[in-house]
Amino acid sequence: MTIETKTKSYVFQKKISEKGLICVGAKNDGMYLVLEDPATGEQKVVLDGVSGAAVCSLGHTDPEITSQFSKWASESPYTFGAYYGNNSAEDLGEFMCNRSNGAFESCLWTQSGSEATENAIKLMRQYHLERGDGKRYKIISRLQSYHGFTIGALSVGDGTRKPPFKPILLSDEQTPKMPQLYPYRDWKEGMTEEEYTNHLLEQAEKVFIDNDPSTISGVIVETVGGSTIGTPTPPKGYLDGLKALCHKYGALFMLDEVMCGLGRCGYDFTWMHPEFGLTTGGPDLLSVGKTIGSGFVTLAGLFFSPKFCKTFNEGTGYIMGGQTYHSHAFTCRVGLAVQQKIVRDNLVENVRVVGGYMKEQLKEQLKDCKIAGDVRGAGNFLSVEAVKDKATKESFDPKLAVGPTLHKRIFDKGVIVMGANGTTGYEYQGLTDVTCFGDHVTMGPAFTTTKEHADIIIKAVVEAFYELEKELL
């Protein structure tokens, strides 16, 4: 067998002609992955400091969960949601709604966060139709945001992955954008937190007014920004104000917590965070994903408020359409077991404690690093932004690809993080020619991460930043 045959890929993703490193297992309570070079057979064991894409709440291949797969599968005949329900979907919905302190009354279980966004766009439209308000069809979202990689999700999102597909997406008229939420750069010196919050809300209201408020269906924002912009948290009062603004103009308020939610930021729902969360109850809709199934199954979902459900119950009482694998019995059964273990083992508090330690240590150990501009995030969903000049916050030349370079440096030290560019924005020259400005690395390990694991992640990140500082400055 030739090397070429060994490395040829039959999976249409990443670099399509080559397999690249192959994951062949997990070790040490599922905190480490075993990666194999298909050409040489050489293996490397690495600590997963970002759990894929902030997916894992439990360790990889957790035996308590995976040992039950055969039993659960044997008890989970397939049901098409348009005809029949199943107890697993009902049980998971009840369990999660009960954790929301009355904010949610019902759930729809999907297969991905992108799919949750697509359904949200359609269900918000149906909500207004149920109320006899057919003029509403526009979705407001933010610049430098991410809500998924399908057509509708890319349309309401914004970032470096979007430009090549613009001709086939929903129009800018249908998906108007508010400015990004980016305290590190936009919260100006001398401005109080209240002033910054008011500035953001004034910008948001202008988007409503400029786009005819009577046509706005809803607003979708990430509670804490994700990998596109490097986990910025909102100022106090912003989420409350945005929710009030939506309701003032008759629109729905939706939070996207696919990446940042369900414990990732240290609370059951990130909108419950005492420093920046809602104080007026939950959003009208909430999307979740990733950590709900911990990567064992493809599971995500939407949560709906009592107000949202009431409109449907008093209207047709039915949903327009459904998808083949909505509320799939087996995936919901696995999701329920994952969430029950998280609650039983108090893992959300562990995220809060260990994540707080990680953030504190990164700030302390990188305070003298000339290229570490900002350490931010909540829970263990954390990022470090790299800059050329800490005083001016100038970013590095995009040609240097600092984010991806940091990713590789940290990987070579035995830790996986997400190194990215495009943090501050992008410039589109056409076709696939996109220039990405700004760089960061993001972390989001499993909820079972210990301080010992955290120290390994911190050490690798800190060393990589100081090494690159010496080379670039």
**45: CATH:** 3.90.1150.10
Q: What is the pLDDT of residue 431?
A: 66
Domain match, 73 and 129 both: yes
How far is the C-alpha of 224 from the C-alpha of 378, rounded, in Å?
A: 8
Residues linked to residue 302 through DSSP beta bridges, in sequence order:
108, 287
Burial (CB count within 10 angstroms: exposed 0-12, middle 13-18, buried 19+), residue 194: exposed
Q: What is the pLDDT of residue 1?
A: 41
Amino acid symbol at 30: G
Amino acid symbol at 183: P
Domain match, 411 and 269 both: no
* Cα dist from 224 to 54, 110, 227, 278, whole Å: 13, 21, 10, 12
- Cα dihedral angle (175, 176, 182, 185), rounded to 10 degrees? 140
Domain match, 52 and 80 both: no
Q: What is the pLDDT of residue 3?
A: 47
Domain match, 116 and 211 both: yes
CA angle 419, 425, 430 (to 5 degrees): 105
Domain match, 177 and 276 both: yes
Instruction: Write the secondary structure of 138-178 as one string of H (helix), E (strand) and C (coil).
Output: EEEEECCECCCCCHHHHHHCECCCCHHHHHHCCCCCCCCEE
The last residue of a domain, from among 295, 312, 344: 344
Domain match, 155 and 10 both: no
Domain match, 413 and 451 both: yes
Q: What is the pLDDT of residue 434?
A: 85
- For residue 18, give the DSSP letter: B
Domain match, 131 and 198 both: yes
Number of domains in the chain: 2
Q: What is the CATH number of the domain that holds 197?
A: 3.40.640.10
Domain match, 217 and 362 both: no
Q: Which residues contact 192 (CB under 8 A, 6 or more apart)?
A: none
Domain match, 336 and 369 both: no
Domain match, 308 and 409 both: no
E-assigned strand segments in 37-125: 43-48, 106-110
Neighbours of 213 (CB within 10 A): 18
Q: What is the pLDDT of residue 14?
A: 83
The last residue of a domain, from among 290, 311, 344: 344
Write out the DSSP string of 242-308: HHHHHHHTT-EEEEE-TTTTTTTTSSSSGGG-TTTS-SS---SEEEE-GGGTTTTS--EEEEE-HHH
Amino acid symbol at 102: G
Domain match, 17 and 125 both: no
pLDDT by residue for the chain (473 residues), tens only, comes to 444 678 888 888 888 888 989 999 999 999 999 999 999 999 999 999 999 999 999 999 999 999 999 999 999 999 998 899 999 999 999 999 999 999 999 999 999 999 999 999 999 999 999 999 999 999 999 999 999 999 999 999 998 888 889 999 999 999 999 999 999 999 999 999 999 999 999 999 999 999 999 999 999 999 999 989 999 999 999 999 999 999 999 999 999 999 999 999 999 999 999 999 999 999 999 999 999 999 999 999 999 999 999 999 999 999 887 899 999 999 999 999 999 999 999 999 999 999 999 999 999 999 999 999 999 999 999 999 999 999 999 999 999 999 999 999 999 999 999 999 999 999 987 767 889 999 999 999 999 999 999 999 999 999 999 999 999 99
Structural domain boundaries enclosing 215: 69-344
The last residue of a domain, from among 299, 319, 344: 344
Would you say how long the chain is, in residues?
473
